[in-house]
Amino acid sequence: MAAEIKTVKSLCNRCGLNTNHHVRFNHSVSDSCDTPDGESIVDWGSTYTFLECCGCSDVSIRRHDWCSEWDHGSYDETFYPPRVSRRKPSYFESLSEEYRSLLGEIYTALQADSRQLAMMGARAVIDLFILRKVGDQGDFAKGMAKLEQDGYIGKLDKDIIKAAIDAGHAASHRAHIPSSKELTAVMDIIENLLQHDRLAASAETLRKHTPARTPRSSSKKETP
């Protein structure tokens, strides 16, 4: 009878969900050394686990690090490839090259948990949106006021975007490391902004290509 394969819950990049994974292989390494004062010994180690998603068969390696100097039971966990915390939106490929290029780097930064870089990138996307829609207005506040004046955004949107810009400003100038929650809020704003813009552009294209209805002529005689 074949040995039972252990399963664990883990985030799958391909499924985008926490799924059951088969534990295919484990390999552990450990070492120890004396503390500088020679009065005690420090132990540490790592366990590498080869995981396979039960749903889609995607494979990943989980590294679990521990050290006798850490709080009891605490450990570090790293995945290869890194787990994707946010997936690209479904409409990503339909965006313009400029947006795709910027956003692609933002998602890579998010994947590596480089939150300051991701926030700076988010601000750059908003800068680009302002530039493309209403041109250089001199500063962000004027740019956003113009966006609101021209009907691209409502007051609420403006306040939300301003919050995103302030967060990006803090990230670039005051060594502020945004929390995951802040970053998620900013990414929600940007993705909504671009999606609405894309839908508006699609509606405009549809309108231009829809033939105008010809008014029915009242003088036209019916064929006998």
CB 19 within 8 A of CB 30: no
Looking only at residues 12 through 41 of this chain, which bind Zn ion when binding is defined by CB under 5 A? 12, 14-15
Minimum distance between the CB of residue 25 and Zn ion, rounded to whole angstroms? Answer: 18
Q: Which region, judged by CB under 5 A, interacts with Zn ion, from 8-16, 25-33, 64-72, 198-206?
A: 8-16
Lookup: tokens for 71: 């709080």
Strand ranges (E), 3-82: 7-12, 17-34, 41-53, 59-67, 76-80
Paired strand residues for 8: 21
Q: Does 56 bind Zn ion (CB under 5 A)?
A: yes
H helix intervals, the chain: 97-111, 115-134, 140-149, 155-173, 180-209
Q: Does 132 bind Zn ion (CB under 5 A)?
A: no
Q: Does 51 bind Zn ion (CB under 5 A)?
A: no
Q: Residue 137: CA atoms inside 13 Å, Cβ hemisphere, count? A: 20
Name the residue nearer to Zn ion (CB basis): 13 or 137. Answer: 13
Minimum distance between the CB of residue 62 and Zn ion, rounded to whole angstroms? Answer: 14
Q: Does 9 bind Zn ion (CB under 5 A)?
A: no
* 204 φ/ψ angles, rounded to the nearest 5 degrees: -65, -45
Q: Which region, judged by CB under 5 A, interacts with Zn ion, from 10-18, 72-80, 123-131, 174-182?
A: 10-18
Q: Which region, judged by CB under 5 A, interacts with Zn ion, from 57-65, 81-89, 137-145, 188-196?
A: 57-65
Question: Residue 90: in which H helix or E strand, if any?
Answer: none
What's the one-letter identity of residue 163? Answer: A
Minimum distance between the CB of residue 57 and Zn ion, rounded to whole angstroms? Answer: 7
Which stretches of the chain bind Zn ion, using CB under 5 A? 12, 14-15, 53, 55-56, 58
